[in-house]
Structure 1
Amino acid sequence: MSEGSATTHEALIQFLYRAPIGLVQTSLTGEIAMINPMAARLLMPLVAGGNLFNLFDVLDALAPQLRSLAQQPLEAGDLICDDLHLPLPTAANAPDAAPRTLALQLLRLDDATLMATLSDATAAVQREQQRLAARVHAATRTDGLTALPNRLALLEAIDLALEQRSRDIDARWTVLLINADRFERINVTLGPAAGDAVLRQMAARIRATIGARVPGALTARFGSDEFAVLLRLDGMHGTATATDAASGDDDLAICEVLAQRVVDALGAPYAVGGTSVHASASVGVVRIATSHHRAVTVMQDADLAMREAKRLGGGRHGLFTPAVRAQAWQRGSLEADLRRALDEDQLFVVYQPIVALADGAVVGMEALVRWRHPQRGVVPPDRFIGIAEETGMIVALGERVLRQACDQLATWRRTLGPLAPRSMSVNLSRAQVLEPSIVGTVARALAASGLDAGALQLEVTESLAAQDAIVQQRLGELKALGLSLALDDFGTGYSSLASLHLLPVDVVKIDRSFVGPSVKSAHHRVLIEAVSKVARSLGMNTVAEGVETREQAELLAALDCDKAQGYFYARPMPADDATAWLQAQLERSCG
């Protein structure tokens, strides 16, 4: 070997021994021909007695596949394995800086030689694990549909706001809880894909409405059809939103402005697959107070405010106050009592006569439910019907009223004969109409009582009858039984005289709000007469509700109204009292 070649060889050997990575040259069967100090240091903890004769033997416990991989037919320069991570067993007394993971690369040099590189991959693996953990953390806090932060992320942010508020008394935060009204209707009528499209558009509108005006506001998807916004109020004074509020430094006014903007934005139509979809939302507003110590309590109060907005009809915002919580507690207590009332038969049915205005004959009865509470006395229906509808108890309650009403009319027919009321009217709620079993429930009540279907009249509110195709279909199925449908409280809902012909009803009940002022108000008289004439032209009858004086009754008859009910004729009565009243009417007509 020449002097120059020897020098070059010596330099190569020095490089191999000083290289910051481990280098091992072996035969095809793993016998080590050359190993540098770094490789020896990395491999030594894996062998007993320092036996570094065969690389495959040393790594057998960590990578038993190496021996077979090395026997594959490969060309010179081909990789046998690349960046194979080998977790090392950790001794109990190992220092913190000891390698935890080796990275191995094995290369075919020629027909008889392999070259392995080894490095300490502990830090790289830890960095990758941290990146993965960060991605998992983000994924667990991001909603997949809207790409908004999710429920968990929002609760964490509120907890941070609470912590900050405890250190900074000037920090003032508020939360808006936004719930889509009757969102299940979209999923049922148009399908889940359409529902998802509407939710994505809702998310975009909330971000545009809040994010553009409130820097740093956090918008999150809180539930299936719920969103929430966390925003800091003390940084908003002087902004356009604060200027729009009733008072530039009034936090409450700012909250109301923002909440109403969200309601307005979400109430605009949604374009879904070429279809215009209408939806609305209710917003609950809560300002974080010193009484709030955990995020869940903040959201509970926001939920109470949102539910109060829904209870008032939806498509609006509600503000949390301690009174809202007290009312919710009372409603919760009443709900528990109502469940007990259903089990203990505290509910009973009363009956109010419906008379023909032409001759005063009793032509029907309306069945109404009442509740005799053991401590509260008789609870008026406006105190518990709403709770029954919200909780789903209205289905069982309504079925009970329907059965009792049908049985009672059958009893009157047996005892009073042809002088018994011709029909029985029973109210149906939205929840009952949407119940898939409602047609069967009505059919069974008729069969059990022995009544013909023509003797039963079901009353639905104007707003319900004018709703979507599912409601229309269900009402059609009920009519197919042979019963009649009445439109209750006409004039208070969404329909009009021009659309009356589109509704599948036989009777129009004119709301008491029109009847009361009719004697003194020409405007109301014109409305009543118009309803009566349009209904008659469509083959429908009319019933005026809330008649309290003879003057009203005579006026209604002159305005072509067919029937009436109200305190002028009789208050709602329990079955026995109603029977006595009917018998008295019979005696009076005979006398």
Structure 2
Amino acid sequence: MTLRRPSPRPYVLATAGIAGLSVLWYLAYRVLGLGSSVPSYLGSPLASATGAVAILALLRWVPLEPAARTFWRLILVLEVTVAIGRGVQAGYAIAAYPEPPRTPGFATAFTAVGLIAAIAAISLVPLGRISRAERRKRMLDRLIAFYGCATLLWFAALGPLVNADEPWPLRAKIMVGLALLMSAVGISRVAYVPGGPVDRAAVRLVACSGLATAAYAMVAAHAGHHVADFGRSVLLPFGPLLIVWAVARQWRYSGAQAKREAWLPYLAVVAVDIPLVITVFGPMGWPGRIVVLLAVSVTLLASLRHLMAYRENQRLIAAQLVAQEQLRWDATHDALTQLANRGLFRDRLALALESGPTTVVLVDLDDFKTVNDSLGHEIGDALLVAVADGLIEAVGRDGLVARQASDEFAVLIDDPAVDAEDLVDRIGAMFGSSLSEHRLLMHASAGLATASAGTPLDHLMRDADTALYAAKQRGKANWVRFTPEMERPVVADAQLGAELRRGLENGEFHVVYQPLVDLHLNRVIGVEALVRWQHPTRGVISPIEFIPAAERTGLIVPLGRFVLRETCMQAAAWLAEFGPEVLQKAGPNVSVRQLHDPDFVNDVRAALADSGLPGELLVLELTESAVLRGHQVSRALHELHDMGVRLALDDFGTGESSLSLLRAFPASIVKLDKSFVDGIEFDEDGTPEANARQAVARAVIQMAGALDLDTVAEGIENEEQAERLRRLGYSLGQGFHLAEPMSPAQVAAMLADQRAIHAA
């Protein structure tokens, strides 16, 4: 069973109560004449005994560094010896009543030992690691402060006591001297304690506790022995009260650093001037007084000037600290969202993995690039800020939210009590409402991974990224928790990406061409370029397998550039061999990543220039999803159209925006998707699906005719389909029934046969 650490409050209240009762007794004794003088001896030892109990509790309940334990043990010696010494004095007072007691020497010795222990405690407080030059400057400052305090205390208390009209015992003078020395040492030293194992305020309170004795001596020196009751009952109990207060400060101390109080030497100079000015008005002639007053004025003005410089330096240092703090913030936080950045996230993750199980959640916005391209980066940035605010609200104190990349965020969960899946549900609910001032609806995918203590950071991040990839594969607005089975396809995909790069470098890719046929004349009028991969060990790899990998790795850009240049060179070669009338269209496919490449238009221009192919013979085939990609893509497509390059809308009819695209997109050709050709050969009184396909095919040819666009029917598998399409008005077609993809040599042979038939 773990014991709860108590509070220091009862000790403070008890000591304050003792001091307060002692003061009340004195008022009743002096004002009302009640009781005897014996209770005046009880307040100080009882308060010191309570202080000793408070220090024992501090040493028992509060974890302290060795230097702090040494300090408080020495202060414990002070409280115990003072309680014993003054307790013995109280015992003698009770025994001798009603006669004045005589304090034994050993009682005074106890108190002297305690004061020496307190001086040692204050002297041993660590000052921190400083350079030798800084140590010398601090020593000088402390000497100035010490002598200034000592001068004032001598003038106000010890000097008058030594020279008092009523004789005081030597041991009393020694006691007062030790108390004043403790105060002077403490006050001069505490200003240079930067904050460490001992609380600065606690050291200051312990040092000031000696001033209770100084105040007693000062009053007694000026008023005589008859004020002893006042000093014992009113002044002395406040010394232990300050020490218990210091215990309470140390009890709650957090180890915070504090600035050094460099103004203390200037205050010490002013403190020396006080007795000097008072002394001037003693038995001294006017010339001497003027000299002293002028010297005091100079020291005051110099102190004021240095104090002004000190305050200005403090302002400059404060401004520098603010700037440094801002730099630290900027180095660890994202400038746009003010979330933790990747560096801070990894640092916190490394610390979390050292101590226990840790979960990472990666959140990636779905289709954020579409928002950026279509609405602009300003609205995209506003959306990211709104998402960041929503994530902070959804996660709360359960985790650290960071921005990893453009539209990817991460959440670190290092508390095993937090349900990560519940947290992801809260994030999903946040995305269920409109975001930012533009009221945008967004979806996000998330991947979760959990690792035990000691797991390498990169392994956990890789697992979370794998889970995020799996979530995106399932569609939008999904989240997936990582399982070991997920690693295999990811590793295979990574290996395929590496082999893709090597294959591009080694020339393993080649282009085949599927003829585009005039359905009425049954002759080839163009080709569609298709890429194939002849792997050295795995044989022919299907485009269905390697094209998505090329898209994910970005290798689709150099691969597409290769297909574009090969198509242009081959088409130009066929034109040179068979004449300009043999080929009307040469069409490579273009991916979304290529359209976003800022060099794509220049790549097309260079391919045409190097091959000599006329621009109007090049047909770039694009899908509807590629066209719907914002201003940059639209600008690139219009530039290509202005160059004379024709654009074909592939897989037409499968998207949601086909009709609007025919107006906004500078297309020359639409290609009816194969899904509308399958089964079109059946009569109109066939299945509802067949009737629907024929209706779509008829609508497309009518719209294309109204907009003066060429139409191509894809995926023709038999003559019945070709015949039905002819009757619907289609004149161009592609499909295995007409011609399969073939090598350049096979296309050349077909073109040669076609030329021979035409010549005959």
Match of 1:554 in 2: 723
1:80-91 alignment, distance < 5 Å: none
Using the alignment, how far apart are the partners of 1:489 and 1:408 within structure 2?
25
What's the offset of the Cα at 1:460?
Answer: 1.1
3-state DSSP class of the match of 1:573?
A: coil
Which residue identity does 1:491 align to in structure 2?
Answer: G
What's 1:458 paired with? 620
| Structure 2 counterparts to residues 57-456 of structure 1, below 5 A | 103-105=262-264, 106-107=266-267, 111-113=294-296, 114=299, 143=334, 145-151=336-342, 154-155=345-346, 158=349, 174-181=359-366, 183=368, 193-211=378-396, 216-231=398-413, 255=421, 262=427, 265-266=430-431, 270-271=435-436, 280-286=443-449, 288=450, 293-310=455-472, 316-417=478-579, 420-456=582-618
- 1:135 to 1:350, Cα distance in 2 relative to 1, 3 A: closer
CA contact (8 A) 1:292 1:298 kept: no
* TM-score, normalization by structure 1: 0.69
Which protein is bigger by CA-based radius of gyration?
2
Cα distance in 2 for residues equivalent to 1:162 and 1:353: 59
Cα-to-partner distance string for 1:401-460 (whole Å, 9 max, x where unaligned) = 111111111221222225522110111112222222222221221122222111111111
The counterpart of 1:522, out of the listed 672, 675, 691, is 691
Residue aligned with 1:146, SS: coil
Q: Please report how far the alpha carbon of residue 354 of structure 1 lies from its aligned counterpart in structure 2 after TM superposition.
A: 0.9
**What is the letter of the counterpart of residue 200 of structure 1?**
V
1:262/1:557 CA distance change after superposition, 3 Å: farther
CA distance in 1, matches of 2:571, 2:477: 41
Tell me what 2:657 maps to: 495
**Count of residues in Structure 1 that have an aligned counterpart in Structure 2:** 480
TM-score when normalising by structure 2: 0.55
Separation (CA, whole Å) in 2 of partners of 1:496 and 1:399: 27
Partners in 2 of 1:134 and 1:444 — Cα distance? 52
Distance change >3 Å, CA 443–CA 223, structure 1 → 2: closer
In structure 2, do the counterparts of structure 1 residues 490 and 207 end up closer, same or farther at CA, with 3 Å as the change threshold? farther
Q: Deviations over 1:113-171 (max 9, x none)?
A: 33789xxxxxxxxxx9xx999999988665554344444554466556656666xxxxx
What SS does structure 2 have at the residue aligned with 1:425? strand
Shift of 1:306: 2.0
Distance (whole Å) between structure 1 residues aligned to residue 191 and residue 380 of structure 2: 58
Deviation readout 1:38-95 (Å, 9 max, x if unpaired): 659999xxxxxxxxxxxxxxxxxxxxxxxxxxxxxxxxxxxxxxxxxxxxxxxxxxxx
In the alignment, is the contact (CA less than 8 A) between 1:466 and 1:503 conserved in 2? no
The RMSD of aligned alpha carbons is: 4.3
Q: Is the 8 A contact 2:354 2:454 kept in 1?
A: no
- 3-state SS of paired residue (1:433): helix
**Secondary structure of 1:112 counterpart:** helix
Question: Which consecutive segments of 4 or more residues in structure 1 shift more than 6 A?
Answer: 14-17, 40-43, 131-140, 188-191
User: Which structure 2 residue ranges, 5 or more long, are not aligned?
Assistant: 1-152, 161-175, 193-258, 274-292, 305-317, 682-686
* Secondary structure of the corresponding residue to residue 431 of structure 1: helix
Find the partner of 2:639 among 474, 477, 486.
477
**Aligned residue number for residue 541 of structure 1:** 710
Instruction: Give CA-to-partner distance per residue, 1:170-223, whole Å, 9 cap, x none.
Output: xxx653211234646656676665443222211222344455xxx724433333
More helix by share: 2
**Gapped regions of structure 1 (runs ≥ 5):** 1-6, 23-35, 44-99, 118-127, 167-172, 238-253
User: Which digits, 9 at most, give the CA deviation of each residue in 1:279-304, with x for residues without a partner?
Assistant: 55332233x25698233212111112
Cα offsets for 1:256-296 (capped at 9, x unmatched) = x8657745744765445xx566655332233x256982332
Counterpart Cα distance in 1 of 2:657 and 2:483: 35
Deviation at 1:224, TM superposition (A): 4.0
Please point out which of 561, 570, 578 is paired with 2:739.
570
Which amino acid is the alignment partner of residue 11 of structure 1? Answer: A
SS of the residue corresponding to residue 493 of structure 1 reads: coil
The 3 A distance-change label for structure 1 pair 508 and 299 is same
Q: Which residue of 1 aligns with 2:230?
A: none
- Compared with structure 1, are the counterparts of its residues 297 and 11 closer, same or farther at alpha carbon in structure 2 (3 Å cutoff)? same
How far apart are 1:468 and its partner, in Å?
Answer: 0.9
From 137, 157, 178, the equivalent of 1:11 is 157
Distance 1:227 1:588, change over 3 A: same
Give percent identity, aligned residues only. 36
1:71 counterpart residue number: none
Cα separation, partners in 2 of 1:394 and 1:295, compared to 1, 3 Å: same
The alpha carbon displacement at 1:511 in A equals 1.6
SS in 2 for 1:570: coil
Q: For residues 554-577 of structure 1, what are the alpha-carbon distances to aligned partners after superposition, in whole Å with 9 as ceiling and x for unaligned?
A: 222222233211111111111112
Letter of the structure 1 residue corresponding to residue 445 of structure 2: S
In 2, Cα distance between equivalents of 1:279 and 1:448: 45
CA gap 1:561/1:261 in 2 versus in 1, 3 angstroms: farther
Contact 1:155 1:296 in 2 (8 A): no
Amino acid at match of 1:216: D
In the alignment, the residues of structure 1 paired with residue 728 and residue 159 of structure 2 have an alpha-carbon distance, to the nearest angstrom, of: 116
Does structure 2 retain, via aligned residues, the 8 Å contact 1:371–1:379?
A: yes
Q: 1:260 to 1:394 in 2, by over 3 A?
A: farther
Do the aligned residues in 1 keep the contact of 2:356 with 2:414 (CA within 8 Å)? no
Q: Distance in 2 between matches of 1:467 and 1:379?
A: 29
